[in-house]
Structure 1
């Protein structure tokens, strides 16, 4: 091994794939997918691009790795105490994903992309497996496992993604934006709709003002659980 090769090996050993992914997540959290560039990554890690390319081939691979890392951490979080039932296990998985998507607003788009880009993507099977294990514990017949687990997965990802979009929108209104005022404006807009075309939306407008996002999210999970166990 030449001196140059040994020097390059030491650099790549010191800069692990795990540290690169950690830095990528930090950049994504700060500026979204557009802020994740190899130039920004080399500046954050104080290294050259060659050391990064040693571990990851391109931005697509890096995004997949960051997504997988965040989701794996979310699914590994144990709730306070062992779940007393499969229903509580489902809620724990759902809240873990909800919290991850809330903390990392870029995550929702990456998960949607993985669901649409092909079966080889690593994250959807990981999420499906966790929900599926709980569905099996609920006593669902094997013929219904996929439908039940898929319904839970798609609801959780969709609802958590919408919540993340709402949070991102609220940030654009500035640090002084008041959640109650924003929801009040939505409620007022709904109440102003044509009553002939939007009778239901007008009827629930007042419920928008004071709803709790997390409670609403879990209520949706419980509705699906009730359907699964009926």
Structure 2
């Protein structure tokens, strides 16, 4: 009887909602959205599909829940030693999302789905609320709260998503690969005719030497400067 009780306890632990979600995130990290299937999940957890549906729901619901879990953790990031000003709070949120998308390559696509198809869902609402409170704390007039918050949110998610999926580092997996890619792009820009492409020719060196994180924060600073002028 005691042995049976221990087996039942272990089974309940394996089949907990949290364990299923954590395992789903591991599968997503390893193989992207295509790597998360009910079959792969049941094999990893040594259980049946019925348990997955019971605890979480369908595969789409599991994807949404995994996204919500990762974003909730990112938004819970606490500021470091910097003063707790609205500007610093916004930077903390922005970098939390930046790091989350950098760590979970599948996340950018799922965020785009949430923002466009489920703007009333916990992911979209959570991000806007976190950013919006700091916009309000900046003293921005209420009439432009939505514009200011939307600009920040769209920049944060758009900049990181472009970098990780659709932009110049798509398919670049290591720092060495990134350096080679940027070097090749920079050389191609340098070879452009400066009479036809004076701007692209001039920034070719900056493109090769830039740091994604620093560039990201520079963009946040530019937007915050604009928002403070709204006061």
Say yes or no: TM over 0.5.
Answer: yes
CA distance in structure 2 between the aligned counterparts of 1:115 and 1:14, rounded to whole angstroms = 32
8 Å contact kept, 1:105–1:168? no
Report the counterpart of residue 67 of structure 1 in structure 2: 67
Q: Does 1:54 align with 2:57?
A: no
Report the counterpart of residue 206 of structure 1 in structure 2: 205
Alpha-carbon displacement from aligned partner over 1:185-228 (angstroms, at most 9, x marks no partner): 01111222344543212211110111111000000000000000
Give the counterpart of 2:171 among 163, 169, 172: 169
Q: Does 1:96 align with 2:84?
A: no
CA distance in structure 1 between the aligned counterparts of 2:97 and 2:142, rounded to whole angstroms = 25
8 Å contact kept, 1:115–1:124? yes
**TM-score under structure 2 length normalisation:** 0.88
Answer with 76-85 or 147-156: which moved more.
76-85
**How much does 1:79 deviate?**
2.0
Report the counterpart of residue 111 of structure 1 in structure 2: 111
CA gap 1:228/1:54 in 2 versus in 1, 3 angstroms: same
Answer with 120-129 or 76-85: which moved more.
76-85
**How much does 1:180 deviate?**
2.6
8 Å contact kept, 2:42–2:49? yes
Q: Does 1:151 align with 2:151?
A: yes
Answer with 197-206 or 107-116: which moved more.
197-206
Report the counterpart of residue 217 of structure 2 in structure 1: 218
8 Å contact kept, 1:42–1:48? yes
CA distance in structure 2 between the aligned counterparts of 1:176 and 1:227, rounded to whole angstroms = 33
**How much does 1:10 deviate?**
9.1
CA gap 1:188/1:226 in 2 versus in 1, 3 angstroms: same
**TM-score under structure 1 length normalisation:** 0.89
Report the counterpart of residue 26 of structure 2 in structure 1: 26
CA gap 1:61/1:8 in 2 versus in 1, 3 angstroms: farther
Report the counterpart of residue 38 of structure 1 in structure 2: 38
Report the counterpart of residue 142 of structure 2 in structure 1: 142
CA distance in structure 2 between the aligned counterparts of 1:158 and 1:149, rounded to whole angstroms = 14
**How much does 1:118 deviate?**
3.1
8 Å contact kept, 1:67–1:107? yes
**Aligned pairs, number:** 221
Alpha-carbon displacement from aligned partner over 1:98-125 (angstroms, at most 9, x marks no partner): 0000000100000001111133332011
| Secondary structure in structure 2 of the residue aligned to 1:81 | coil
Alpha-carbon displacement from aligned partner over 1:55-111 (angstroms, at most 9, x marks no partner): 122111001000000000011011213643111111011000000000001000000
Report the counterpart of residue 183 of structure 1 in structure 2: 182
Alpha-carbon displacement from aligned partner over 1:121-168 (angstroms, at most 9, x marks no partner): 320110000000110110001111111111100100011112223555
Answer with 68-77 or 14-23: which moved more.
14-23
CA distance in structure 2 between the aligned counterparts of 1:110 and 1:150, rounded to whole angstroms = 18
Answer with 217-226 or 119-128: which moved more.
119-128
Answer with 178-187 or 25-34: which moved more.
178-187
